[in-house]
Amino acid sequence: MEILSISNLKSAAAVGHVEACVHVQVEAITQKETRDQKPYFELAVVDATSKMTLRAWSDTAAFQACSGLRRGEFLEVHGHFVKNGGFGLDARQWECRCLTPEEREALLAGPEELREKQRTDYEFIVQTVSTLCDPRLKTLCEHFLNDFGVRFRRTAAARNYHHARRGGLVEHTSQMMRTGCLIADLYPQLNRDLLLSGILLHDCGKLWENSLPENGFTMPYNETGELLGHINIGIELVNALWRKLDLSQWAGLEPDSEDVRMHLLHLIASHHGEHEFGSPVVPKTPEAHALHHIDNLDAKLEMVFAGYQTASPLGPRVFERVRPLPGNLIQPLGKFAV
């Protein structure tokens, strides 16, 4: 039987009942009780594309298998899956086994299509950095990619909602860079080098807040991320990278190097747009406004497009709300075809 990713399984189950296999890692396992005080296990499982919840009732074979499972283990799950209203997937008559070492490595690498997309996205980021004209920003961005590229490539853009998967930050950043290149052409008043550098580095603090380990899909919590948050971590990281630059070789360049540093830090500090959303300052420069809206646009469209794959229909061309989007989804208008 074909092995589906969780994302593809959700799409298939949104249409109707499906029998399938998935390879997953156990993110959490908890023993609970029903209202009748019968025990059952609840498993949160994850792969490179998404997450889902499994429940093993006391009168099933899966219940016995779960009694020996631990967080972090890798499984093949075979069963019958169906969309359960607004509660996600419902797995029925499912069984599981542990993956072989070869199957585990294949799972960690991700589906071939996703691997290729993230490889192409990362290459685009590297190529775009090579086009920067300001030698200070170009060198700074190169230092970031050289020092933290491996960690960057396994970091999620968020814990939930958008690009919340291994390598999701690379996908998010590359798409923002594509948009930034186009907007910089449309608005020549913008400082292209500053905007694109800000896009690359705006979420660099998530390498500590949302980074995944080399051997799994479970995003750990850590004290640095909890105490500081990715904006403060990002400001500290950029300052640390800036101190590595030999600024003496660029003495006399305009704009002044200190002005460049301050404007870049402002992009990181203000990219959430408002105080209530976590930004210590609001956008106060053209590049800061542009970056904030590019970031928000890509995050929202990712949630909308993903929502169509999993949302249950409420009526003709109307689908249930996908949080945190503000309302129910409406089937998009098809493109005009000649």
On the question of pLDDT at 87 being above 70, the answer is no
For 185, the token pair is 């052409």
- Average pLDDT value for the chain: 93
Model pLDDT, residue 1: 75
DSSP state of 326: S
The span from the CA of 194 to the CA of 263, in Å, is 8
CATH top class, domain 3-105: mainly beta
pLDDT band at 88 (very low <50, low <70, confident <90, very high): low
- Most confident of the ranges 34-43, 80-89, 125-134: 125-134
Burial of 252 (C-beta count, 10 Å sphere; 0-12/13-18/19+): exposed
Find the mean pLDDT for residues 254-270.
98
Which segment of 40-49, 88-97, 291-300 scores lowest on mean pLDDT?
A: 88-97
Residues paired with residue 4 on neighbouring β-strands, in sequence order: 22
Model pLDDT, residue 60: 87
The span from the CA of 59 to the CA of 93, in Å, is 11
List, in sequence order, the alpha helices (H) in the chain.
6-15, 61-66, 101-109, 112-130, 135-152, 168-186, 192-201, 206-209, 223-243, 257-270, 286-310
Q: What is the pLDDT of residues 114-125, one digit of tens each?
A: 999 999 999 999
Model pLDDT, residue 85: 61
Per-domain boundaries in the chain: 3-105, 111-302
Predicted TM-score of the model (pTM):
0.88
To the nearest 10 degrees (0 to 180), the angle between helices 286-310 and 257-270 is: 30
Q: For the chain, give the percent of residues with pLDDT over 70.
A: 99
The correct answer on CATH 1.10.3210 for the domain covering 111-302 is yes
Model pLDDT, residue 177: 98
